[in-house]
Structure 1
Amino acid sequence: MRQQATRELYSYWNGLRRQRAAPDRAEIDPTAIRSVLSDTFMIEADRDGLFPLRLSDARVNALWARDLKGRSFLDLWGEDSANVAAVLLTVMDGACPIVAGAQTRLSGRAPVDFELLLLPLRHHGRTHARVLGSLAGANLPEWVGLLPIERLELRSLRILSNARPAADLPLMPRLSGAIDRRADARPQFRLIQGGLA
């Protein structure tokens, strides 16, 4: 995590969840994250898989020069929208936070890099309900906020480990002898001739 907003939001979220997989939406106190609030947004998990933005704050809205509330989070991405949908499902299914690199380009201008943070939230005790996120850039050019960006591109992705200390981890069961012998076996490949499509 390179951006201060990313680190602060992750630290706040991590403190709220304690030993749980994710905190509840009702636990989020905007005053506690006021220094990074303008870089934050909240996504709803809907039945249609559109992932509408429930909240989007000032700096996030300024990037597109409009209020994004109610708009699909996937619409903010170009060809990567299917990958971003899969990332959101990973965040919710695995209750795992993700940090990603994103980039936008405007013709005739240098690319602008952003850091994206996605954090799972429960809502009224339900999992797969909300995702808290931030989108922060460093050294943003003067045109950001004056000219709307069109789309973001996903550049990198990292799942933030929820690893527990080794002493807390359960021991892995020992593999049976049959499985051990198979692991040493030479892999077998089969070539299947196919026609031209």
Structure 2
Amino acid sequence: MILPVTRDLHDYWGRLKGERAAPDRAEIDPVAIRHILPDIFIIEVDPERRLPLRLCGARVNALWQREQKGRSFLEWWRAPRREEAAEAIRRVIDTQTPLVARARTARTAPDRDAAEFELLLLPLRHFGKSCSRVLGSLAPARRLDWVADCPVGPLDLVAARMLEDKAAQGSKEERRCGENARLAASNG
């Protein structure tokens, strides 16, 4: 985890979780994380696995120049990479383990560079249901001056790793995602 947004959200989630696998959605206090609210989102884990966004911060909305609430998390990803994004969510849900990833969008115009992002996915309980929500953050690796003029394009998953306890404390293990690669939980 490189970006302050990612570290702050992960630390906050960890304090709420304590010894449990995941905190409950009702425990999230927006005031406690107001400084990072623009960069966070909550995904509903629905039976159809459409993964609708239930909450989306202002900076995340600004990336696509439209409200993201109600849209599918999978719509953020380039069509060939959607299965990798879905697999990342499945890993978080099935293992109740956080995931951190790097994502990239292609160049959207000749005068605009490709944009890189850090993505964090954290399991949440909701009304006692085990991992029925995912709390996340999406933040650009550097300032995007052009985003007000041009929305970001679909994302590609570049690299991802599960954050086991010792991984969260500094393990450098990372699984690279190839064209047809699946995310796999690191072995510690």
The alignment's TM-score, normalised by the length of structure 2, stands at 0.84
1:163 Cα shift?
4.6
Q: Which structure is larger by alpha-carbon Rg, 1 or 2?
A: 1
Alignment of 1:8 with 2:11, yes or no, is no
Tell me, which stretches of 5 or more residues in structure 2 are unaligned? 168-188
1:149 Cα shift?
1.4
Residues matched between the structures, number: 164
CA contact (8 A) 2:65 2:151 kept: yes
Alignment of 1:44 with 2:19, yes or no, is no
CA contact (8 A) 1:115 1:137 kept: yes
CA contact (8 A) 2:120 2:138 kept: yes
Correspondence for 2:109: 107
Q: Distance in 1 between matches of 2:56 and 2:150?
A: 18
Q: Distance in 2 between matches of 1:145 and 1:8?
A: 26
RMSD: 1.3
Alignment of 1:82 with 2:44, yes or no, is no
Correspondence for 1:158: 161
1:151 Cα shift?
0.4
Alignment of 1:120 with 2:117, yes or no, is no
Q: Does the residue aligned with 1:16 lie in a helix, a strand or coil?
A: helix
The alignment's TM-score, normalised by the length of structure 1, stands at 0.81
CA contact (8 A) 1:64 1:145 kept: no
Q: Distance in 2 between matches of 1:86 and 1:6?
A: 20
1:97 Cα shift?
0.2
Tell me, which stretches of 5 or more residues in structure 1 are unaligned? 165-197
Q: Does the residue aligned with 1:133 lie in a helix, a strand or coil?
A: strand
CA contact (8 A) 1:51 1:74 kept: yes
Q: Distance in 1 between matches of 2:148 and 2:40?
A: 16
Work out the percentage of aligned pairs sharing the same amino acid: 49
Q: Distance in 2 between matches of 1:131 and 1:140?
A: 26
Q: Distance in 2 between matches of 1:146 and 1:94?
A: 39
Q: Distance in 2 between matches of 1:59 and 1:92?
A: 25
Correspondence for 1:93: 94
Superposed, 1:12-91 pairs within 5 Å as 12-78=12-78, 79-91=80-92
1:161 Cα shift?
1.2
Q: Distance in 2 between matches of 1:144 and 1:159?
A: 29
CA contact (8 A) 1:80 1:154 kept: yes
Q: Does the residue aligned with 1:107 lie in a helix, a strand or coil?
A: coil
List structure 1 segments (4+ residues) > 3 angstroms apart after TM superposition: none
Q: Does the residue aligned with 2:165 lie in a helix, a strand or coil?
A: coil
